[in-house]
Amino acid sequence: MTNFPFEAQRALFPILQKKAQLSSCSQSALSTPVTEALARYMTSWSEQGMDWGGWGVVLDQAKAEFARLIHADAADIAVMSCVSDFASSIGNCLSFDAQRDGIVLGEIDFPSVGHVWLAQQARGAVVQFAQPDAGGEIALEGYARLINDRTRLVSVSQVSYSNGFKQDIGAIVKLARAQGALLFVDAYQSAGVMQIDVQRDDIDMLVCGAQKYLLGCPGIAFMYVRPSVAEQLKPSNTGWFGRINPFAFDIRTLDYAQGARRFDTGTPPYINGAAACAGMALLNTLDMAQVEAYIEQLSAVALREAKRHNLPIASPLDPSRKGSNTAIRVKDSAAIERHMASAGFIVSARGPLIRVAPHFYNTEQDVAGAMAALARLV
């Protein structure tokens, strides 16, 4: 067993003293910094009655922490309640005409994002899906065949929610850019465990919610928008925080704040922002290159142990081609998830799959133990 590099940080997650939580593709473990941040919010509410100014400062700090994780500026980050809201807001900003009517996405993307793009068909969009092979991977050629000079938007999951397949974002950006198409990246299964640099990779838009690898809770999501792109878009899904001066309270004036802030809407989920800020602040104390390398190491352990127990693997067999999630095919995933929890291993059911998705705080023993327990059940 190799050296575990995050022993000190592991102690910040109390549940790990009793259980192996390996469900970060769905919900990460709760840390003491997040618990303390939520307690501070509740104390301020209880003792002060309200603290809109203080809560707003924490939300701005959360934007800054997300920006730091993806190598962006805090001014280029917007906040909504979920990724689907962001996708809908972007979709409704775009026009679809005879010259530019195409949307291209992968068949392996999360369904709700696909549903948002399909809803744009009523506005003239033509939606096409890049197909995966038998192993659940989409070759770059699959996108190249579909992206052309009529493509308005290419939507890509950096890591698939189902089988963990990791896509080459840099290469897909080049395909989109060559045809003048925008690129929308869903980083829900990658941000927090992979190095991301939106400026280096020339990404137009990148979205992520807080409760998975960002160590927060549901109910808040973040979106990066490249400044030059943001200035071209006027969201119809809007609210008072999307105005140049929200506190002008001018009901007759619809103006748009500079940059990504134009995508903010109504009163944001401040308490969720407090949790998200604390989780991402913890992540930003780590070397993300080390985290990514360690996650790949855990993937190798998961694949090795799954093979040793003859479990039917649905994920790529090369650790470098997958994210944290190692998916195993089962007959009744919901029942298996419950039995695994009873055995001390928190994993995530999704359709016909059980997903074992460690974070940096998990050990090789956690992963190997989960695969052994899964083998006993399957």
Q: To the nearest 10°, report the CA torsion of 362, 367, 369, 375.
A: 150
- Yes or no: say if 189 and 168 are a contact pair by the CB < 8 Å rule: no
- Which residues are CB-neighbours of 74 under 8 A, at least 6 positions away? 60, 63, 64, 67
**pLDDT score of 247 more than 70:** yes
Q: Which two tokens stand for residue 102?
A: 């195409």
Domain 7-30+287-377 classification at class level: alpha beta
The gap from C-alpha 284 to its chain's centroid, in whole angstroms, comes to 16
Tell me what pLDDT residue 133 has: 95
Task: Give me the mean pLDDT over the 270-298 stretch.
Answer: 98
Q: Which pLDDT tens digit goes with each residue over 321-369?
A: 999 999 999 999 999 999 999 999 999 999 999 999 999 999 999 999 9
Task: State how far the Cα of 142 lies from the Cα of 170, in Å rounded to an integer.
Answer: 15
Task: State how far the Cα of 153 lies from the Cα of 100, in Å rounded to an integer.
Answer: 9
Task: State how far the Cα of 184 lies from the Cα of 28, in Å rounded to an integer.
Answer: 24
Q: Which pLDDT tens digit goes with each residue over 189-231?
A: 999 999 999 999 999 999 999 999 999 999 999 999 999 999 9
Q: To the nearest 10°, report the CA torsion of 375, 376, 377, 378.
A: 40
Task: Give me the mean pLDDT over the 120-142 stretch.
Answer: 96
Tell me what pLDDT residue 148 has: 97
Planar angle of CA 191, 197, 202, nearest 5 degrees: 120
Determine what percent of the chain is predicted with pLDDT higher than 90: 98
Tell me what pLDDT residue 378 has: 86
Band of the pLDDT at 3, cuts 50, 70, 90? confident
Residue identified by tokens 């397949």 is: 165
Sign of the Cα pseudo-torsion (276, 282, 285, 286, in order)? negative
Task: State how far the Cα of 270 lies from the Cα of 254, in Å rounded to an integer.
Answer: 24
Strands 326-329 and 353-356: antiparallel
Strands in 326-329's sheet, in edge-to-edge order, are 326-329, 353-356, 348-350
**pLDDT score of 27 more than 70:** yes
**pLDDT score of 177 more than 60:** yes
Band of the pLDDT at 158, cuts 50, 70, 90? very high
Tell me what pLDDT residue 8 has: 96
Estimate the crossing angle of helix 270-283 against helix 32-48, to 10 degrees. 150
Residue identified by tokens 């809109």 is: 52
Where along the chain do its domains lie? 7-30+287-377, 42-283
Q: Which CATH number fits domain 42-283: 3.40.640.10, 3.40.50.1970, 3.40.50.2300, 3.30.70.20?
A: 3.40.640.10
Q: Find the DSSP H helices in 223-363.
A: 227-230, 270-283, 288-308, 333-342
Task: State how far the Cα of 134 lies from the Cα of 140, in Å rounded to an integer.
Answer: 15
Q: Which pLDDT tens digit goes with each residue over 134-155?
A: 999 999 999 999 999 999 999 9
The gap from C-alpha 179 to its chain's centroid, in whole angstroms, comes to 26
- Which residues are CB-neighbours of 325 under 8 A, at least 6 positions away? 25, 159, 161, 163, 164, 189, 315, 355, 356, 357
Tell me what pLDDT residue 131 has: 96
Tell me what pLDDT residue 64 has: 98
DSSP 309: T
Tell me what pLDDT residue 115 has: 98
Task: State how far the Cα of 275 lies from the Cα of 335, in Å rounded to an integer.
Answer: 30
Among 8, 42, 59, 20, smallest CA distance to 216 is for: 59
Strands in 166-244 per DSSP E: 182-186, 205-209, 221-225
Q: Which pLDDT tens digit goes with each residue over 67-98?
A: 999 999 999 999 999 999 999 999 999 999 98
Tell me what pLDDT residue 2 has: 64
**What is the residue type of 162?**
S
Band of the pLDDT at 176, cuts 50, 70, 90? very high
**In CATH terms, are 7-30+287-377 and 42-283 the same topology?**
no
